[in-house]
Chain A
């Protein structure tokens, strides 16, 4: 018997989680783009698209039965997917190709240039939103329903991407605190497990993956605290807040793990 269920109730909570994820992504996007000085108008796109997506997702959670709300979420979701992909292209060009040294200095630019995978977090949120708009509509319970499995796949891929992005940035920070290894140790296992379940649902594995996802969920909150502590360790600490916000560890980023793990847990009906 499978524990994968497509229930409208859970999908409303997934919509909430997706909205939270979107807010985190556009928050970090704003900080990064502000740091760059918004030299390109295109940098406003993730803010606009993200706000639209987050609003639509909240609406979906509140009134899932309204047809046009579902339609709006689907549209906003796809727009977010494409915005993220195009954003990744911009990040690649302006963050690596155009920079001094180009590909020869790849590692330097991966560490310091526009983060290569970050825009795809918006795509992940968009994909989850599209799937949520499907999920709230279907009333049937199906063991091998494709929508929840697709969503699990998105969670797995997004977790893997988060790990890769974290890896390069924690490497840049020289793992100055041993706990910086944690997001590279635990979430990959959660991503692997979640991905496996997406491909081949298996009862025995579900329990293990639930534990991994819970641990990842909590890790996200610990990470928030660690990043706040990291901001305080900069010169001037939280007194020179805006400046250190631009210099120090991104304050919202660890919450991505919590929201993705939360979506995963919802999908595995762990609540």
Chain B
């Protein structure tokens, strides 16, 4: 079950910019019409699952919650990850290249997800989704190190899949969302208005104000 233990909640540091919401600048001179259109979709039109099976989607949900945990957010406020990965796979939108040792994108994901479950079964005799968070982390860490058990990983490079497909895609999806932008104090879209105080310590009036400890 996605979410994470109480230990995780303490481990996510609080943002330096608690009062900052990048979307508050929506109507201002930093957001032009085409950017609003693109980001509105991302925030409001979260697509339904069309490519992954229900089980695959639940598994990816659990995996994403370990790659980028969000225990500091209530369920409705969490940045959706699986829906956007699914959309990409549904349309078969590729990245302009794939590494030799990986099959085409859709197959890579299907294989990779089933491989994670296979490893979970071999290591802990249970499905990945029903493992404790820390145990889930252990399984994923094995993937990262390349010593995860399973026949799948003879057909798909575990390290490549983990690093250059799974982590990369989940992380990119998360940090493409305005909630992530606000949390890291990213100034966000800027057109036509750009930036003025570009020196060290410089904060434009429309940048994220920082709360000092």
A and B touch in the complex (CB under 8 A): yes
The answer to whether the Cβ of B194 comes within 8 Å of any Cβ in the partner chain is yes
Q: In the complex, A235→B201 CA distance in Å?
A: 25
List the A side residues contacting B201 at CB < 8 Å: 39
Please determine whether B202 and A236 come into contact, CB atoms closer than 8 angstroms. no
Interface residues of A in 239-254 (CB under 8 A from B): 239-240, 243, 246-247
The answer to whether the Cβ of B37 comes within 8 Å of any Cβ in the partner chain is no
The answer to whether the Cβ of B98 comes within 8 Å of any Cβ in the partner chain is no
Chain A residue at minimum C-beta to C-beta distance from B203: A37
The answer to whether the Cβ of A108 comes within 8 Å of any Cβ in the partner chain is no
The answer to whether the Cβ of A233 comes within 8 Å of any Cβ in the partner chain is no
The answer to whether the Cβ of A35 comes within 8 Å of any Cβ in the partner chain is yes
Q: Tell which of B29, B193, B194, B197 touches A35, judged by Cβ atoms closer than 8 Å.
A: B197
- State the 6 A-B residue pairs at the shortest beta-carbon distance, nearest first: A236-B192, A246-B196, A243-B193, A240-B29, A235-B192, A240-B193
Interface residues of B in 149-185 (CB under 8 A from A): none
Q: In the complex, A247→B204 CA distance in Å?
A: 13
Interface residue ranges, A against B (CB under 8 Å): 35-37, 39, 235-236, 239-240, 243, 246-247
Counting chain A CB atoms within 10 Å of each CB, which of B192, B197, B202 scores highest? B192
Q: In the complex, A109→B153 CA distance in Å?
A: 57
Chain B residue at minimum C-beta to C-beta distance from A247: B196
Q: In the complex, A60→B193 CA distance in Å?
A: 44
**Chain B interface secondary structure, helix, strand, loop or mixed?**
loop
Please determine whether B194 and A243 come into contact, CB atoms closer than 8 angstroms. yes
List the B side residues contacting A246 at CB < 8 Å: 196
List the A side residues contacting B196 at CB < 8 Å: 35, 243, 246-247
Q: Tell which of A36, A37, A236, A247 touches B29, judged by Cβ atoms closer than 8 Å.
A: A236
Chain B residue at minimum C-beta to C-beta distance from A112: B199
Q: In the complex, A247→B192 CA distance in Å?
A: 13
List the A side residues contacting B203 at CB < 8 Å: 37
Counting chain B CB atoms within 10 Å of each CB, which of A37, A235, A240, A246 scores highest? A37
Please determine whether B202 and A37 come into contact, CB atoms closer than 8 angstroms. yes
Write 23 A-B pairs (CB below 8 A) sorted by A numbering.
A35-B196, A35-B197, A36-B197, A37-B197, A37-B202, A37-B203, A39-B201, A235-B192, A235-B194, A236-B29, A236-B192, A236-B193, A239-B29, A240-B29, A240-B192, A240-B193, A243-B29, A243-B193, A243-B194, A243-B196, A246-B196, A247-B194, A247-B196
Shortest Cβ distance from residue A123 to the other chain B in the assembled complex, whole angstroms: 27
List the B side residues contacting A243 at CB < 8 Å: 29, 193-194, 196
Q: In the complex, A239→B32 CA distance in Å?
A: 14
List the B side residues contacting A236 at CB < 8 Å: 29, 192-193
List the B side residues contacting A36 at CB < 8 Å: 197
Shortest Cβ distance from residue A99 to the other chain B in the assembled complex, whole angstroms: 9
Chain B residue at minimum C-beta to C-beta distance from A35: B196
Shortest Cβ distance from residue B45 to the other chain A in the assembled complex, whole angstroms: 29
Q: In the complex, A39→B29 CA distance in Å?
A: 25
List the B side residues contacting A239 at CB < 8 Å: 29
Apart from A235-B194, A239-B29, A240-B29, list 6 A-B contacts with CB within 8 A. Answer: A35-B197, A37-B202, A235-B192, A236-B29, A236-B192, A243-B29
Shortest Cβ distance from residue B195 to the other chain A in the assembled complex, whole angstroms: 9
Shortest Cβ distance from residue B30 to the other chain A in the assembled complex, whole angstroms: 10
Chain A residue at minimum C-beta to C-beta distance from B196: A246
Q: In the complex, A147→B192 CA distance in Å?
A: 52
Q: In the complex, A236→B193 CA distance in Å?
A: 8
Chain A residue at minimum C-beta to C-beta distance from B200: A100
